Amino acid sequence: MGILEGKRILVTGVITDSSIAYHVARMCQEQGATVVLTGYGRLSLVERIAQRLPEAPPVLELDVTDEEQLAGLADRVREHVDGIDGIVHSIGFTPQEALGGNFLNTSWQDVATAMHISTFSLKSLSTALLPLMKDGGSIVAMDFDNSVTYPVYDWMGVAKAGLASTARYLARYLGEHRVRVNLVSAGPLRTMAARSIPGFDELADSWPQRAPLGWDTGDPEPAARAVVALLSDWFPATTGETVHVDGGFHSTGA
């Protein structure tokens, strides 16, 4: 029996089979969960990727900046499952002008776009689905450690700092609903979002040498495993927490 037996999990953020969310969805199913996906943009592509999962899940359209789609999300999810036990937020986007060393010249408009999609969306998604979490549940979002600066990551780092704070406030406000909110802070992984960061290689190449456990930028499974664990009943008293899945990189000074 899997650790998610009987649970109903909504997973956002699948766009390719290298997406962290794809591996989370796969492992959720392997651990016994019923999965519903949301997809953004190229929906037919998401549907095609979804077919590769052990069981093809329904795919619902969701742009996290679209208030109408958010307002109708709970009803659309209800067509497939009668409630939700877990939500995976695996969404990030930053305009090119907000990355790659342009920190001092980035406009507010570009920063606002990054924050709307990468940060505020955790609140929007959580509140949109709260009516379906009648028995409590677990919300997990994907973080990239933001306690220090990195080359090229720029305003995405600021957006991730905001995401971490948003998760803590959600943990505070959703505790009374018995909903836990936690983050998995992953090391660099070669996904579509990562490829759009100019200079990502510079960031990624230093990781395996400094991480005490080493780090494989082509293997999203360790991060996905941590997400699945946090979705399960094995962290019943943990909320507002960040679990680092980065080979230990964050714990070393040099």
Ligand X SMILES: NC(=O)c1ccc[n+]([C@@H]2O[C@H](COP(=O)([O-])OP(=O)(O)OC[C@H]3O[C@@H](n4cnc5c(N)ncnc54)[C@H](O)[C@@H]3O)[C@@H](O)[C@H]2O)c1
**Active site residue ranges:** 153, 160
> Cα–Cα distance between 176 and 170 in angstroms, integer?
11
Write down the least CB distance from residue 193 to ligand X, Å: 3
HSE-up of 39 (CA within 13 Å, CB side)?
A: 21
Q: Does residue 20 touch ligand X according to CB under 6 A?
A: yes
Q: Which stretch binds ligand X (CB under 6 A): 24-32, 168-176, 192-200, 230-238?
A: 192-200
Residues 193, 195: Cα–Cα separation, whole Å: 5
Query: At closest approach, how far in Å is the CB of 18 from ligand X?
Result: 6
CA distance 45 to 63: 15
Using the rule CB under 6 A, which residue among 10, 13, 130, 229 binds ligand X? Answer: 13
Q: Which of 4, 10, 62, 130 binds ligand X (CB under 6 A)?
A: 62
Residue 143 CB, nearest approach to ligand X (Å): 6
Distance CA 226, CA 130 (A): 23
Write the single-letter amino acid at 239.
T
Amino acid at the residue 210:
R
Options 4, 7, 11, 19; binder of ligand X; rule CB under 6 A? 19
In the list 3, 43, 65, 102, the residue contacting ligand X (rule: CB under 6 A) is 65
Q: Which helix (H) or strand (E) holds 113?
A: helix 108-115
Min dist CB 212 to ligand X, Å, is: 18
Give the angle 22-24-30 at the CA atoms, nearest 5°: 105
Is 189 a binding residue for ligand X by CB under 6 A? The answer is yes
What is the contact surface with ligand X in residues (CB under 6 A)? Answer: 13-16, 19-21, 40-41, 62-65, 90-93, 117, 142-144, 186, 188-189, 191-194
